[in-house]
Copies of this chain bind each other. A is one copy, B any other.
Amino acid sequence: MAPTTSLAAKDPEERRRRILAAAVEVLKEKGFAGARIADIAAMAGTSPALVVYHFTTLDGALAEALGSVEDDFYVDWERALPPRASAVERLRVLGELGCDTGPAVGNWALWMEVWVRALRDGQARALRRALDARWRALLREVVDAGVADGTFTCADPQATVVRLAALMDGLAVQVSLRDPDVPEDQMTRLWLESAAVELGIASRRLVTTRRRTTRRRTSAR
């Protein structure tokens, strides 16, 4: 719970951004239920009143924090997906991108929080809808490309995409909850194997056995 930086930012804009980042951090650490104005202020190194000054309300701050997370996701996807690679390669990247559970109480945990909040809150539901739709569209694109050039075989792409997306959600739950049957480093393999079966290719073509040296991404999914 250390403040992100002790250096005082004179620029109001910068200050606001820091509070927003602090809100995201608090959300990941304590969840919606446990997030307090005081926590955000402490994390950002300012007073609770300033949080309210900039966001008028706690819910407002949390909502905007979620929005910023959404943007980060998009940027991440954009950056990670090589546009001209083969369908197999892009599928592998999608798997690795989505299966990254992030550091400590990570991004997937935040995602789960959003699900539960979405049960009752319309805005959270909308956010999830948007991000999920975009994720599935990405997956669909890759599947269609692979089917078009003959590397994939898939009778019902719509169903396949839905299943693969849902499987990733489900696996993420197990990993986030430290399920001994689903160790973090197996998640990618499990998902890619399913993808291989769904798309009628040898899983050997997707699952690399090489030990991972990849840098951890800042955001998953």
1/0 contact trace for A24-41 toward B, CB 8 Å?
000000111110000000
Asked if A21 is an interface residue, CB under 8 A from chain B, the answer is no
The DSSP consensus for interface residues of chain A is helix
Give the distance to chain B from A171, nearest Cβ to Cβ, in Å: 5
Cβ < 8 Å to B, chain A residues 168-203: 168-171, 173-174, 176-179, 181-182, 190, 193-194, 197-198
Asked if A113 is an interface residue, CB under 8 A from chain B, the answer is yes
- Name A166's contact: one of B109, B136, B182 (CB within 8 Å): B182
Contact A31 B119 (CB under 8 A): yes
Contact B173 A169 (CB under 8 A): yes
Contact A31 B166 (CB under 8 A): no
Using known A-B contacts A115-B173, A167-B167, A167-B170, determine if residue A120 contacts B31 with beta carbons closer than 8 Å.
Answer: yes
